[in-house]
């Protein structure tokens, strides 16, 4: 037997262990058949095609609703699905490892706990990324097809009404602009960033909770607080006297150091109203997301490093 050969010392790098763990988490989630939800998404995208209110006005408004509907329904569904997937998947991994005692088998290998945590987080993010990419593809395909159809209709109608060539061209441009474009991709990126922050928060909750249910509930709670924090603070700031406003500004700042303002990631609504997303906005969101992901990963590490499994 080859057993008696002298034993070489193997050593994995942090990166390779993290990749192994994240691919493992990804496989685990995929084999739980999470991707079935994509069928639901496809139904939503197709369904959003039919919410066209009959309009008998000029060519400029024909089909504009359809395009807007496809965008707002798809992006809305993407945001919802992505958040649900990331929270549920993250909440599932660590508590289940503890419950099934599979965590022993991993941590009994030379695996630093930070590698374990980051690997799990990366696995969930990979899952979210792939889901978003597939949904994005579906949305773009639907939008592209539909834009073509709308333009054809508009042209026919405009020609029928004897519009000048110039006006037809500019109408076409306008329709194209509200079809597939890079702004949409920026909106999807914003969804991904928001969900990444949420997954990191959920990870740190799961390090001290003992059950999937608790983790899920608390994470959704934080998610909602993150959405309403801006409004609540606004309300509070309006209520206080002008003299104490520096104090309340610090309070607001302190609060936002820990609880992200998820409202800022909601570029979707503006986009559907054809408000452009600037590069600066995207940059800011990326920075913000990095900060919170780092913060919550470190927090998770801090709790998890002393945890007895």
Q: Give the footprint of other proteins on residues 112-141 (CB under 8 A).
A: 112
Which one of 165, 166, 241, 306 is in contact with other proteins (CB under 8 A)?
Answer: 306
Mark residues 81-100: x for contact with other proteins by CB under 8 A, - for none.
-------------------x
**What is the C-alpha to C-alpha distance for residues 214 and 197, in angstroms, rounded to an integer?**
19
Residue number with CB closer to other proteins (107 or 157): 107
Check residue 1 for interaction with other proteins (CB under 8 A). Answer: yes
Check residue 162 for interaction with other proteins (CB under 8 A). Answer: no
Of 10-18, 145-153, 196-204, 226-234, which part binds other proteins (CB under 8 A)?
10-18
Check residue 102 for interaction with other proteins (CB under 8 A). Answer: yes
CB of 126 to other proteins, least distance (A): 16
**What is the C-alpha to C-alpha distance for residues 158 and 41, in angstroms, rounded to an integer?**
34
Number of residues binding to other proteins, judged by CB under 8 A: 35
| Alpha-carbon distances, residue 289 vs 54, 106, 206, 218 (angstroms) | 42, 29, 20, 20
**Closest CA relative to residue 82, chosen from 190, 176, 167, 217:** 190
Q: Are 242 and 209 in contact (CB under 8 A)?
A: no
**What is the C-alpha to C-alpha distance for residues 165 and 168, in angstroms, rounded to an integer?**
5
Check residue 279 for interaction with other proteins (CB under 8 A). Answer: no
Residues 171-183 as b/e (b if ≥16 CB within 10 A, e otherwise) read: beeebeebbbeeb
The separation between CA 272 and the C-alpha centre of its own chain, rounded to angstroms, equals: 17
* Integer-rounded Cα radius of gyration of the chain: 24
| Alpha-carbon distances, residue 156 vs 119, 171, 189 (angstroms) | 55, 12, 36
Mark residues 18-57: x for contact with other proteins by CB under 8 A, - for none.
--xx--x--xx--xx-------------------------
Which one of 2, 57, 173, 246 is in contact with other proteins (CB under 8 A)?
Answer: 2
Residue number with CB closer to other proteins (108 or 242): 108
Q: What is the DSSP string of 155-180?
A: HHHHHHTT--HHHHHHHHHHHHHTSS
CB of 39 to other proteins, least distance (A): 21
* Per-residue tokens: 158: 């405009």
Q: Are 179 and 63 in contact (CB under 8 A)?
A: no
Check residue 110 for interaction with other proteins (CB under 8 A). Answer: yes
Check residue 209 for interaction with other proteins (CB under 8 A). Answer: no
Check residue 8 for interaction with other proteins (CB under 8 A). Answer: yes
CB of 306 to other proteins, least distance (A): 7
Residue found under tokens 């919802």: 80
Which one of 42, 84, 106, 295 is in contact with other proteins (CB under 8 A)?
Answer: 106
Residues near other proteins, by CB under 8 A: 1-4, 7-13, 16-17, 20-21, 24, 27-28, 31-32, 100-102, 104-112, 306, 308-309
């Amino acid at each position: 037997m080859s057993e008696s050969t002298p034993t070489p010392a193997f050593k994995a790098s942090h990166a390779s262990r993290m990749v192994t763990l994240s691919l493992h988490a990804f496989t685990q989630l995929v084999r739980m058949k999470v991707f079935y939800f994509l069928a639901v998404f496809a139904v939503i995208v197709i369904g959003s095609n039919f919410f066209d209110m009959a309009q008998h006005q000029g060519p400029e408004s024909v089909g504009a609703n359809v395009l807007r509907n496809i965008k707002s329904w798809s992006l809305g569904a993407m945001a919802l699905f992505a958040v649900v997937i990331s929270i549920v998947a993250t909440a599932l991994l660590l508590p289940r490892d503890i419950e099934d005692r599979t965590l022993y088998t991993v941590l009994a290998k030379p695996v630093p706990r930070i590698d374990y945590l980051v690997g799990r987080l990366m696995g969930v993010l990979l899952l979210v990324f792939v889901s978003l990419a597939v949904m994005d593809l579906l949305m773009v395909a639907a939008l592209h097809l539909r834009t073509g159809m709308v333009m054809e209709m508009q042209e026919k109608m405009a020609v029928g009404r004897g519009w000048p060539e110039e006006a037809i061209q500019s109408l076409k441009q306008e329709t194209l602009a509200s079809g597939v474009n890079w702004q949409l991709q920026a909106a999807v990126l914003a969804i991904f960033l928001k969900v990444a922050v949420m997954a990191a928060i959920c990870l740190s909750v799961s390090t001290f909770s003992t059950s999937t249910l608790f983790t899920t509930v608390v994470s959704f709670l934080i998610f909602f607080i993150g959405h309403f924090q801006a409004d609540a603070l606004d309300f509070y700031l309006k209520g206080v006297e002008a003299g104490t406003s520096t104090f309340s500004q610090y309070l607001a700042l302190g609060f936002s150091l820990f609880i992200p303002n998820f409202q800022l990631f909601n570029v979707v609504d503006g986009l559907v109203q054809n408000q452009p997303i600037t590069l600066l906005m995207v940059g800011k969101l990326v920075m913000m997301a990095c900060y919170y992901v780092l913060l919550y990963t470190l927090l998770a590490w801090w709790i998890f490093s002393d945890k007895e499994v």
